Structure 1
Amino acid sequence: MRLSRGVPFVAAMLLAGAFSGPSPVAATAAAAVDEQHCARQERVRVPGAAYQQGACLADLTTAGLAGTPYTDMADQAGLTARGTRTPAGVPGVQIDGYFPDSSHFNTTHGWRHDAQFVIRLPDRWNGGLVVTGAPGTRRQYATDTAISDQVLALGYAYAATDKGNNGADFYRDGKRPGDAVAEWNTRTTQLTRVARTAVAQRYGHPPRRTYMTGISNGGYLTRWQLENHPELYDGGVDWEGALWTANGPNLLTSLPTAVARMLGSARDEDLYAVGFARGSEFLWPYHEHAYWGVTQKIYRAEFDPAFDPGCPGKSTGTTPEQILAPCASDASYAYASRPTSVHRAVARVALTGRIGRPLITLHGDLDALLPKTADSDVYARMVDASGRGPLHRYFTIAGGTHVDGLYDTYPDRLRPILPCYRSAFDALASWVERGTRPPADRTVGRPASGDVLNSCSLSAPVARAAGRGSATEFLARDAAQPAPL
């Protein structure tokens, strides 16, 4: 049976460029390279792929790939702040392709085929693999600047998936409510398994360490994978992950109030009541235009299509204005009172907090799309309630918001999360590989000076969070327990 369900977390700020793909892939490699550089390329066959193509490239980072078919800079727009330093000069092999799928939202390379992936294998390999799924309604190259460049420079192999479909009409994929979101998880698991095989073919042995990570919907994927497939990973970093719980909170419990405010039937106090942070008001006009309406209507259409089948109906629209426009009916949407079938659809993809590997979570205190009090604060409590607190660290980033690109507009009020993410990834590797505990859960303050674009320290002279011990000790105690379902 072909998988045909996939989703993203909407990145509506990209509508001008996110739904168009790059030019068709060139028939030959972008750079001439020597025989050693291309060694074993022909041996790398991605198991289960319906199509793949490989290229030996002089630089796998965006510094070398920008303007070529091997990345898509438009699909990355807004995720990182201008002026962010990124590494360059990482030669290696890139494999692009897709798995069998019956949906056709992804037009990258002119393939018009979903379940696309990219795998990058640097010449100088450190023995590790990093896996991610696209944030928003974006595609497989979306986190090239934010994640791929840095981990490649550290020597990791890298793999990313489009999650099975993309675009604001993702809810049209699948046969029953929740099918589209469920495919995110299936495609990520699939890519992790085959990427480990591809790594073994390229380097002669499987990765010694495999890390899962991601932004927004990619953060959700990280949580879900560590809960449901800890055998595949050694740890993960979750950056502003979306929270889905069957009884709430979730996107459908906070966004209707935001839509109501857009339409004049809710007050600021109502937004505070569902989790939006005091002090984030300056970001609300932008989110009214770019996020709230479209995000609510497409996820409501995914999990509860019977609520208002005429909006968005068969499509969110064809123009940016149509796509971003809210459905008036969503202002009165009350998830708690919706039929049991809706809650069951969300339960299919819900998180439990029962992670089986070390996880570091980052969330900005000014996130105006996924308010942290209704998201990562709740998830941290879920992890603790499941007895997995020793495996989790949670850092609130003061001045952080959902996408770092907004820092360019408000440099006096925001700070980028990316440098804190890089510190968190380093901390995860030290935790897993050397047993060095990360700092205790804390708020990372917004610095008054220094290179805020490229540096962030997670350390602070505070006591360890109560009740959270060593991940190594916890995993040793838990070794005899069955893996979470």
Structure 2
Amino acid sequence: MRVSRGMPLIALALVALAVPGPAPAWATPAGDGHCAGQERVHVPGAAFQQSACLGDLTTSALAGTPYTDMADQAGLTAQGTRHPSGVPGTQFDGYFPDSSHFNATHGWRHDAQFVIRLPDRWNGGLVVTGAPGTRKQYATDAAISDQALAQGYAYAATDKGNSGPDFYRDGIRPGDAVAEWNSRTTQLTRAAGRAVAQRYGHAPRRTYMTGISNGGYLTRWQLENHPELYDGGLDWEGALWTREGPNLLTSLPTTVARTLGRAGDEDMYAVGFARGSEFLWPYHERAYWGVTQKIYRAEFDPSYDPGCPGVSAGSTTEQILAPCASDAAYDYASRPASVHRAVARVALTGRIGRPLITLHGDLDALLPKAADSDVYARMIDASGRGRLHRSYTVVGGTHVDGLYDTYPERLRPILPCYRSAFDVLTAWVERGSRPPADHAVGRPASGDVVDSCTVGTGTTGQ
């Protein structure tokens, strides 16, 4: 199922790929250090794995092959973005034991799928991520994997243990599906670190957690709950879950009410949506708001309206994207304590244990910055961890970079700022270079907006 190039992170495109077979013509045989030690690598805990020695692990070479899924990346990067290439190495695909079957990639119909890429020329580090929205393990190949590999990092990504618009059907108790996202990320981080040690002879010297949207949430959660596994994190507009709010269930009902003509602009501003983002609302109304509210409400509060989404979020694209009328009146604050306890199982506290950089666009029309990253920054400060955090606002940034192609005069992609911020993070962790204070990264009036950004020179400092 396809919608548009600005496809929401909930990834309604469920594309099955063929199982990788023998090495294709564009792969290169192992030898002279290329893919050395491939046979020694056994991903700990994996129920199944397979490896391929590839001449280039980046999307420029893998597009159209079974070793990535370009459809699942749709909308995450702007057209014309330059991506690095020419990184030979070994790719490992597989899955951990799991009882759910949402992920049809490779025809496996098995969840907890992962990809691990080990470049021939390794810099001693590891970058770990989880899929944004309800996409799968290849979703951030162009946005994150390509650059990490080009810099010499090993790379690992997980589908989080469930995917697609019916992800909430996984598990037994409310909140189980999202809780699994966190445990699968922890599982992959540990397994990938050991796989790296098998390939290169020693464990990673540095491990970084990062991600987009739900992947940003995973980054926050991992640095709060398993700081021993990481050296730092980069959070790209992560979702915020707190027991009493704010969270998605406190802002999205207003968007549904607006869709149904029951709320106005002032109501939207009141729950955090930015003035100036109004031109993005019609698209989000069609592609994001309704489906996002109903599937997360079904995950944490299934008794609210069992008939919607009921057995499924919908059987057609229109049904999946359509809001439930009952969600216009959803009031998280008044819902039973059991609902708040379900959210509390995955809630953030702000008690990060490693350096974290947050990037958020000021025109985000799904996770408004005022109700998300601004709140999380205050939570970190309140927990006494402010010295470990920096927050940079990307002026003109919105939730997915693909929308830049529709509004090039009004938006700017976040990806180049993300790449710059990653360099700031590694300099902070590895060389003790003090990162810039929190500031807004201004939209350039001219020049290469798609591929250039320097996090460190802003329009306002604090």
Report the TM-score when normalising by structure 1.
0.92
Query: Residue type matched to 1:331 in 2?
Result: A
Q: Verify the 8 A CA contact 1:440 1:463 in the aligned structure 2.
A: no
1:214 is paired with a residue of what secondary structure?
A: strand
1:360 and 2:357 are equivalent in the alignment: yes
- Mapped partners of 2:270, 2:87: distance in 1: 48
Q: Verify the 8 A CA contact 1:16 1:320 in the aligned structure 2.
A: no
- Mapped partners of 2:434, 2:91: distance in 1: 34
1:344 is paired with a residue of what secondary structure?
A: helix
CA 1:16–1:101 in 2, change beyond 3 Å: closer, same or farther?
closer
Correspondent of 1:32 among 21, 25, 28: 28
1:181 aligns to what?
Answer: 178
1:18 aligns to what?
Answer: 13
1:230 aligns to what?
Answer: 227
- Mapped partners of 2:8, 2:20: distance in 1: 26
1:295 aligns to what?
Answer: 292
Q: Verify the 8 A CA contact 2:9 2:133 in the aligned structure 1.
A: no
2:62 aligns to what?
Answer: 65
1:356 is paired with a residue of what secondary structure?
A: coil
1:323 is paired with a residue of what secondary structure?
A: helix
1:3 aligns to what?
Answer: none
Superposition pairs of residues 427-446 of structure 1, within 5 angstroms: 427-446=424-443
1:326 is paired with a residue of what secondary structure?
A: coil
Correspondent of 1:132 among 126, 129, 134: 129
CA 1:450–1:49 in 2, change beyond 3 Å: closer, same or farther?
same
1:438: Cα distance to partner?
1.1
- Mapped partners of 1:38, 1:212: distance in 2: 25
CA 1:381–1:458 in 2, change beyond 3 Å: closer, same or farther?
same
2:138 aligns to what?
Answer: 141
1:474 aligns to what?
Answer: none
1:89 and 2:86 are equivalent in the alignment: yes
CA 1:462–1:27 in 2, change beyond 3 Å: closer, same or farther?
closer
Q: Verify the 8 A CA contact 2:439 2:460 in the aligned structure 1.
A: no
CA 1:17–1:376 in 2, change beyond 3 Å: closer, same or farther?
closer
1:280 aligns to what?
Answer: 277
Q: Verify the 8 A CA contact 2:209 2:234 in the aligned structure 1.
A: yes
Superposition pairs of residues 61-460 of structure 1, within 5 angstroms: 61-460=58-457
1:331: Cα distance to partner?
0.2
Provide the identity percentage.
Answer: 80
Report the TM-score when normalising by structure 2.
0.97
Query: Residue type matched to 1:266 in 2?
Result: A
1:137: Cα distance to partner?
1.2
1:12: Cα distance to partner?
5.2
- Mapped partners of 2:458, 2:297: distance in 1: 44
- Mapped partners of 1:446, 1:267: distance in 2: 29
1:13 is paired with a residue of what secondary structure?
A: coil
CA 1:208–1:392 in 2, change beyond 3 Å: closer, same or farther?
same
Tell me whether 412-421 or 14-23 shows the greater mean CA deviation. Answer: 14-23
Q: Verify the 8 A CA contact 2:11 2:72 in the aligned structure 1.
A: no
Q: Verify the 8 A CA contact 1:131 1:192 in the aligned structure 2.
A: yes
After superposition, the C-alpha distances for 1:356-410 in whole angstroms (9 at most, x for unaligned) are 0000000000000000000000000000000000000000100000000000000
Q: Verify the 8 A CA contact 2:91 2:118 in the aligned structure 1.
A: yes
- Mapped partners of 1:278, 1:254: distance in 2: 15
1:272 is paired with a residue of what secondary structure?
A: helix
Query: Residue type matched to 2:232 in 1?
Result: G
1:42 aligns to what?
Answer: 39
1:24: Cα distance to partner?
2.7
- Mapped partners of 1:347, 1:58: distance in 2: 45
CA 1:42–1:405 in 2, change beyond 3 Å: closer, same or farther?
same
- Mapped partners of 1:24, 1:65: distance in 2: 14
2:305 is paired with a residue of what secondary structure?
A: coil
Q: Verify the 8 A CA contact 2:126 2:204 in the aligned structure 1.
A: yes
1:296 is paired with a residue of what secondary structure?
A: helix
Structure 2 alignment gaps of length 5 or more: 1-5
1:31: Cα distance to partner?
1.0
2:80 is paired with a residue of what secondary structure?
A: coil
1:4 aligns to what?
Answer: none
1:382 is paired with a residue of what secondary structure?
A: helix
- Mapped partners of 1:142, 1:462: distance in 2: 32
